[in-house]
Amino acid sequence: MAQARLTEGEEIDGFRIGAAVHVGGMAALWEVTHPDHDLPMLMKVPRIAEGEDPAAIVSFEMEQMILPRLSGPHVPRFVAAGGFDVQPYLVMERIAGASLLPLVEKLPLPVERVAEIGARVADALDALHRQHLVHLDVKPSNILTRESGEAVLIDFGLSRHAQLPDLMEEEFRLPYGTAPYMAPEQVMGIRSEPRSDLFALGAMLYFFTTGTRPHGDPQRLSGLKRRLWRDPQPPRKLRRDCPDWLQEIILRCLEVLPERRHPTAAQLAYDLRNPDSVALTARARKESQDGWARTFQRRFHPDHRPSFRRADPAEEIDAAPIVAVAVDLGADRVLEEALRVTVGHILATLPGARLACLNVLRQNRIALDTTLDEEGRNKHLQRLVELRHWAQPLGLPEGRATFHVLEAVNPAAAILEHARVNGIDHIVMGARTNSLRRKVLGSVSAEVASEAPCSVTVVRARPGAGPRADPA
């Protein structure tokens, strides 16, 4: 028979119960040890005493199904589980780092710290979305940090896995979540939209930036629905030094319609790590909330009421990858054009894709580098201008392409590092014609193709012939 509460020192399936770590609204956490497992562990036990919320049992069942399917550094490692016939429990790795909750006492945070936290959490969300999961309860207390720096998401009792039954949706009609962070579509019962997690992250970034929650902390459904038609105060209204790029990112995350947010968590992380490349819109310039007329229209006019659809997180990511093209400016005009044609073909099949145009400004290993060229122009800025000119014939809308000049001694290493840090899904680059130096030292494209953490397409071009793309 399942116990309402465990006691320190007792043993369950070989796990010895230690000290109680936390007692929450739906479950309690205990330290445990086991002779067959040498990692630090926690046992999670649902609250099943008389009068407890029945959602505690259902959410625990969900977490028991979900956690064994997840892997990687952004989730605790699953160890074992026990059924409800004797004693329900879930044993998992104990993450040494603290949660983000203590930061709430130090708000507002420096802008750079907000962006750093946001990028790390977006990385974690991207990893979960690629595993068909929407978390649906992203908040400071559910985010830990490993000693190696990765953000770790915990508590999957309210989550939705696209390949598993959704017991929360099947058994309950009211939305479950944490009020300040719930996305509008989540309030309306849609639990499969991965960009719901981006809304929650945006609400957290707003809170960390201003010290105020964007939609307060409503406790009734009517208050939760207010976010469908009432926009929050722009962060700059509450914090005058909030930069344009950060306000743009936060307000984009908080858009009512998911399709107006970032397409993926990876693209959000990319913006947070590359603020100079953020495309600024009217969101960045907002100084106050929308007026009563526009708010009234959104609330009562049938043509302006939002509609939501269901989605699979992994499918959404596949439709919106980050494609990086490494452009060797001025080296070979035929190859430049071949590269542009290949990129155009790729983007035509992926309307949600984002393009990162890269160029490496090679640095000397020993000699001092100069910032100006022979004509007195800043080399870095000149390369940015040339990258924009290279991409112009692609006809991409503002914000779909970003431009980056990487200053490095080793071009291949710089491209690989950019791909790893920014979650690039596909690299496109050109291969120059063979030379003795390349035969002896190897080529940049060969090094990138052999070590890249993603797909690589190497483009070769011959004068008078079309481009030939070789997947590597």
At 1-23, the pLDDT tens digits run 455 568 899 999 999 999 999 88
The mean pLDDT of the chain is 89
C-alpha to C-alpha distances, 297 to 40, 127, 292, 300, nearest whole angstrom:
54, 38, 8, 5
Selection from 119, 98, 91, 83 nearest residue 31 by Cα: 91
CATH number at residue 64: 3.30.200.20
Angstrom distances, CA of residue 276 to CA of 205, 272, 283: 18, 9, 16
CA distance 297 to 30: 51
In this predicted structure, what is the pLDDT of residue 303? 64
| One domain for residues 432 and 466 | yes
Separation between Cα atoms, residue 441 and residue 439, nearest integer Å: 6
Report the CATH number that the domain containing residue 136 is assigned in CATH: 1.10.510.10
Residues 208 and 330 in one domain: no
Alpha-carbon span 203 to 198, nearest angstrom = 9
| Spacing of C-alpha 133 from chain mean position | 13
Tell me how far apart the alpha carbons of residues 195 and 260 are, in angstroms, rounded to a whole number.
10
Across residues 212-233, what is the average pLDDT?
A: 94
The domain spanning residue 327 has which CATH number? 3.40.50.620
pLDDT above 90 as % of the chain: 63
Determine the Cα–Cα distance for residues 15 and 9; give it in Å rounded to an integer: 10
pLDDT at 168: 87
pLDDT of residue 441 exceeding 70: no
pLDDT digits (tens, 9 = 90+) for 378-434: 888 888 889 999 999 999 987 788 889 888 889 999 999 999 888 899 999 988 766
453 in the same domain as 360: yes
pLDDT at 437 over 50: no
Task: Verify that 311 and 402 share a domain, yes or no.
Answer: no
Return d(Cα 253, Cα 238) in angstroms, integer. 18
Percent of the chain clearing pLDDT 70 (strictly above): 90
CB 82 within 8 A of CB 13: yes
Residues 188 and 225 in one domain: yes
Q: What is the pTM of this model?
A: 0.85
Write down the residue that tokens 């802008």 correspond to. 111
Do 200 and 297 share a structural domain? yes
Domain count, the chain: 3
CB 153 within 8 A of CB 162: no
What pLDDT score does 304 carry? 62
Cα 269 to Cα 261: distance, rounded to the nearest angstrom: 13
pLDDT in tens, 53-91: 677 888 899 999 999 999 999 999 999 999 877 789 999
Residue 5 in any domain: the answer is no
Q: Does residue 37 share a domain with residue 134?
A: no
DSSP state of 463: T
What are 343-386's pLDDT values in tens digits? 999 999 988 899 999 999 888 776 666 777 777 778 888 888 89
Full domain range(s) for residue 46:
11-93
Q: Both tokens of residue 439?
A: 């035969």
Pair (266, 120) in one structural domain: yes
Residues 247-261: b if buried by 16+ CB within 10 A, e if exposed: bbbbbbbbbbebeeb
Which pLDDT belongs to residue 440? 41
The pLDDT, as a whole number, for residue 378 is 83
Same domain, 107 and 157: yes
The confidence band for 326, taking pLDDT boundaries of 50, 70 and 90, is very high
Closest CA to 325 of 382, 388, 279: 388
Question: Domain boundary at 316, 350, 365, which?
Answer: 316
Residue pair 325/355 in contact (Cβ under 8 Å)? The answer is yes
Cα–Cα dist 76/97, whole Å = 12
pLDDT of amino acid 85: 77
pLDDT given at position 436: 47
Q: CA 197 to CA 121: how far, in whole Å?
A: 10
Q: What is the pLDDT of residue 195?
A: 97
Q: Is residue 2 part of a domain?
A: no
